[in-house]
Chain A
Amino acid sequence: MAATFGEMSVRQIQAGLAAREFSAAEVARATLERIGAADEAVHAFLQVTEDLALAAASRVDAAAAEGRLAELGPLAGVPVGYKDNMNLTGTRTTCSSNMLRDYVSPYTATCVQRTLDAGALPIGKLNMDEFAFGSSTETSAFGPTRNPWDLGRVPGGSSGGSAAAVAAGLVPVTLGSDTGGSIRQPGSFCGIVAVKPTYGVVSRYGVVAFGSSLDQVGPFARSVEDAALALNAIAGRDELDCTSQPCDVDFTANLAEGAAGLRVGVVPAFMEAAGLTAEVRAKVEEAASALEAAGAVLVDVELPHAQAAMSAYYVLGPCEAFSNLARFDSVRYGYCDPGHADLGSQYEASRERGFGPEARRRIMLGSYLLSAGVYDTYYYPAQQVRTLITRDYLDAFEKVDVILAPVAPRTAFKFGEIGDPTEMYLSDMFTISINIAGNGGMSMPVGLGADTGMPVGVQLIAPPFRDANMLRAAAALEQVFGPAPVAPAFADGKAGE
């Protein structure tokens, strides 16, 4: 069977459209059919947006008919899926929560709008951990997403649906968001390219906030070039997000430069970290050797305060989440527990029943950490730690262009295997410090782990607003390890049998 559209690259789809081998409408319809057939096994999608996809396709086809295909943006005719914390007018934006089960967006997030402006076909909304609280997609109120490489294992999280949809070849590109590792960790677990740009590269306007100072939107794809093209579409200053920054970089520009002369930092403390499995460590070392062989210079760098990142994160993240989630109060929208005579009990019951356990845990944690007398003990020191970690990275980037590290300490685990929340939090031990510091990080697939046979990603970390550095290093690894394959059970149009 021929490759499905979801298995094609962005360039392949656009070449086919240009050559009139197929229309955008055919791309949209075939992708919707493919999702209909294969997503039952994966459960990446919470909703498909057929009408929107077909309408966008007809605009692309009209442009193609007039010979204006090249004028459309970098995602012309490409099916794109969105994490379900991204607003898209007329679609439900549930954040995988009962709280927002029926919430329909009256406006569109900037990052989503930019993909539409770039010609993308909006194909649907993707499953996630509830309000992005989690590392396995198991906290979704609508059931977990399964890892296409092994349906008995988690896809990672919180952007598990975004990662699994690409890994199963359902769509070539999806968007996710990353607060402590929520793009990179599922990218690693599902064996695809997953990019969290520097904080400020992509507008957060219209993305339901978890930790405002940590959240960043980024793309999933199966090739570095596809991820770079998607990033080209969504990056840049947005007047509606005053933390967004101007960005006129072409992220595809230096993908072909190779690793020659690239200074690649390795953090010995990460490589020796307790909990890092042998198979992941071996893969990171293999990637380091590959880069060195391609002409890169390996340099040991220290991040002396990185071990405090986890503690700082579990102060700052819940504090911001507590405040960001306060708006879900049952009054104007969202779940409203019926039959209450007074406001207080309606608030209480609606929030108790509307939010799942992990969301409630983080809200209560944040509420406690910000309360009088406690604030000075936790929040303030956490901000100080943040400054120290940011300096650590800036110091390290005096010596190197990019840092190579593990993404997650292990490959995808089995459903229910990790029940203890704090053990689950350790999934993000190598990713969190990057959100704390605000610079860019990505997961690059480098094959399968020797012990579990599951995909392993290595993390490439870039200096602030030098995200092109990590994409260049990733492209060099891609030369060695090859583009990310579709998970075997879904390759060539298979539906997970």
Chain B
Amino acid sequence: MRKLEEVLRDWEAVIGLEIHAELTTLNTKMFCGCKLEFGADPNTHTCPVCLGLPGALPVPNRAAIESIVLAGLATNCDIEKHSMFYRKNYMYPDMAKNFQTTQGPVAFCMRGHLDLDVDGPAAGERIDLDGLAAGESRGNVTRTEDGYVAHVGITRIHMEEDAGKMVHLGGGEGRIAGATHSLVDYNRAGTPLIELVTEPDLRTPEEARLFMQKLRQIYLAIGISDCSMEEGSLRCDGNVSLRRRGTTGLGTKTELKNMNSFKNLHDGLAYEICRQAEVLEEGGVIYQETRHWDPTAKRTIVMRVKETADDYRLFPEPDLAPYDLTDEFIEGVRAKLPELPHEKAVRYAAAFGLSAYDARHLVEHRATADFFDACMALADAGKDGAAFAKPLANLVINDVTGYVNTHDGSDGAPAGFDGVFARLTPARALELVGLVADDAISSKQAKEVFAAVIADDADPAAVVEERGMRQVSDAGAIEAVVDEVLAANPDKVEQYRGGKTGLIGFFVGQCMKKTQGQGNPKVINELLAEKLG
């Protein structure tokens, strides 16, 4: 099979996503008062309604309607004031009523969009932007200095209920094939679910991944879901088809499932694009089918072929009156809309002079953005905030994120952003970057101080004091060390002067060693350059 970048030269991929999010932050289910709780004993959070017992009736959860309206406002959707619930009829044991309550042609949220900033290597998959200058647009794409912005349409976001969870026993790895028993846990049945459907506006697996990442950040920021792709509270299906470059028709699409991480979403789509290209290039036919991404085997396999469209016999749910949202309700929800991650990133860049890269990484997690905001608020109260922004951003992006990615709490050390920020308070963070700015410690020493702050729950200044880590910046004291190093290595000095300038690292290292790591590298570098020059 050819590589993706080669395939995309000949073929254009047309990708649309269907993204389900469970509204896990709500207390109760969509149509009954049962508690929402992940991991409870099977079938302990059930009642006649979510078990679909004869005679039971649904009552909509108002908080869930608020959540979906919030999601719609955050993704630039029109909020439909008048919409209805529908019954989607199909028989399967995980759906106790044998119909799913969902929405019809008019969903609560219609016609939205998200703009994706694509730059760096991610922009490389898009090969059709040649000849486009920064600021120029083609289709849904606008060129930027270092990449492009893709305008991705959102068809709708509708409200529905989740099904129960099936567990198959006796077969391999919980699969239904070969199973002797199937068990159903209805704790999840009736969990409020919102499904976002994009327009087929995505063209590369990177765009799909970025869309999903951006949407996840938004959902986390507005607090409607924990968005755990592993636990399935955020799930993504992809529809993909190919067409020859330069043509506008639509090819037959396949639907891809089981892309339960950003990597799997990208890799699954990339594989599927290459697979379809190979089939088409060999004169074959793409069948409309549902395919399962197997991340271990790194390929997609057929789940089922859709010979005819499923007939779900959709009709208006007679047990639920049409839903009329008032302006007052919608404006009340709008008032709860927080500053969204991409809006924050723009503000960070404008207000603090951060690079787009730094700003984007700061807002990647709600915890890091909140922490950064708290630091800057505190800094503004004291010294000039903007001066701290870049070193603070580095601290958060490199040290904090690096720590969180490598600590799972199994050794008893703090884990997760919550664990880190419980010890690295905004005041301590400012103190730490202040120590570096004042040349009291080197940035290398700062890493050690950071580790100690987290490990010992100590103030940075106290760590510096306790470990005698004061950086030596006094030029006189350092000059003596520099002279000593140069005198001890006359041959290397000769080589350096002969053009082997790479030896500068050796001299710096020797000086650092002689100052027990406390010499200010900046001063050392300056003196070395002066004396060797």
Contacts and interface: CB of A to CB of B under 8 A. Distances in A.
A22 interface: no
A323 interface: yes
Contacts of B87: 323
Given A242-B59, A327-B98, A343 B54 contact: no
Contacts of B55: 85-87, 93, 109, 204-209
B154 interface: no
A326 B98 CA distance: 6
Contact of B318 (A206, A320, A328): A320
B315 interface: yes
A371 B321 contact: no
A326 B93 CA distance: 11
Contacts of A323: 87, 89, 99, 313, 315
Interface in A161-181: none
B91 A375 contact: no
Contacts of A106: 48, 53
- Max chain A Cβ within 10 angstroms of own Cβ: one of B48, B57, B98: B57
Given A326-B99, A379-B315, A95 B54 contact: yes
B93 A242 contact: no
A71 interface: no
A371 B313 contact: yes
B53 A107 contact: yes
A329 B311 CA distance: 19
Contacts of B53: 87, 106-107, 333
A241 interface: yes
A87 B313 contact: no
Interface in B309-324: 309, 311, 313-315, 318-321
Contact of B315 (A100, A240, A319): A319
Interface in A318-341: 319-320, 322-323, 326-329, 331-333
A85 B55 CA distance: 8
Nearest to B31: A242
A241 B93 contact: no
A243 interface: yes
Contacts of A204: 55, 57
A347 interface: yes
Contacts of B321: 242-243
- Max chain A Cβ within 10 angstroms of own Cβ: one of B52, B59, B96, B98: B98
Interface residues of A, number: 43
A44 interface: no
Contacts of A240: 57, 59
B357 to A, nearest CB: 50
Interface string A82-100: 0001110000010100001
A242 B91 contact: no
- Max chain A Cβ within 10 angstroms of own Cβ: one of B54, B56, B98, B99: B54
A307 interface: no
A326 B89 contact: yes
B311 A371 contact: yes
A205 B58 CA distance: 9
Interface string A235-269: 00001111100000000000000000000000000
B96 A206 contact: no
Main secondary structure of the interface of A (DSSP, over half): loop
- Max chain A Cβ within 10 angstroms of own Cβ: one of B52, B98, B315: B315
Contact of A242 (B51, B98, B309, B320): B320
Contact of B97 (A206, A239, A326): A326
A207 B56 CA distance: 8
A483 to B, nearest CB: 33
Contact of A375 (B54, B309, B315, B318): B315
B295 interface: no
B60 interface: yes
A415 interface: no
Nearest to A368: B313
Interface in A216-244: 239-243
A407 interface: no
A198 to B, nearest CB: 15
Interface in B75-99: 87, 89, 91, 93, 96-99
Interface string B317-340: 011110000000000000000000
Contacts of B60: 242
Contacts of B97: 326-327
A425 interface: no
A87 B57 contact: no
B315 A242 contact: no
A327 B315 contact: no
A372 to B, nearest CB: 5
Contacts of B318: 211-213, 320
Given A326-B98, A332-B51, A343 B313 contact: no
Contacts of B320: 242
Nearest to A215: B318
Contacts of A333: 53
B54 A208 contact: yes
Nearest to A383: B316
A330 to B, nearest CB: 10
A327 B55 CA distance: 11
A477 to B, nearest CB: 34
A332 to B, nearest CB: 7
Contact of B91 (A209, A329, A371): A329
Nearest to A95: B54
Nearest to B98: A326
Given A95-B54, A106-B53, A327-B54, A239 B59 contact: yes
Contact of B54 (A87, A213, A242): A87
Given A212-B318, A319-B315, A372-B311, A242 B99 contact: no
Contacts of B91: 326, 329, 347
A327 B406 CA distance: 49
Interface in A358-415: 367, 370-372, 375, 379
Nearest to A207: B55
A103 interface: yes
A279 to B, nearest CB: 37
Interface in B25-66: 48, 51-60
A206 B57 CA distance: 8
Contacts of B98: 326-327, 329
A243 B89 CA distance: 21
Contacts of A379: 315
Contacts of B59: 239-242
- Max chain B Cβ within 10 angstroms of own Cβ: one of A103, A239, A241, A242: A242
B195 to A, nearest CB: 21
A327 B52 contact: yes
B433 to A, nearest CB: 56
B96 A343 contact: no
A367 B89 CA distance: 10
Contact of B48 (A85, A86, A107): A107
Contacts of B309: 372
A86 B55 CA distance: 8
Nearest to B310: A372
Given A103-B54, A329-B98, 12 more contacts: A86-B55, A107-B53, A205-B55, A205-B56, A206-B48, A211-B318, A240-B59, A242-B60, A323-B87, A326-B89, A327-B98, A333-B53
Q: Which 8 A-B pairs have the closest CB atoms?
A: A326-B98, A370-B313, A212-B318, A213-B318, A208-B54, A206-B55, A208-B55, A331-B93
Interface of B: 48, 51-60, 87, 89, 91, 93, 96-99, 184, 309, 311, 313-315, 318-321
18 contacts: A95-B54, A107-B48, A204-B55, A204-B57, A206-B56, A208-B54, A213-B318, A242-B60, A326-B91, A327-B52, A327-B96, A329-B91, A331-B184, A332-B52, A332-B93, A367-B313, A372-B309, A372-B311
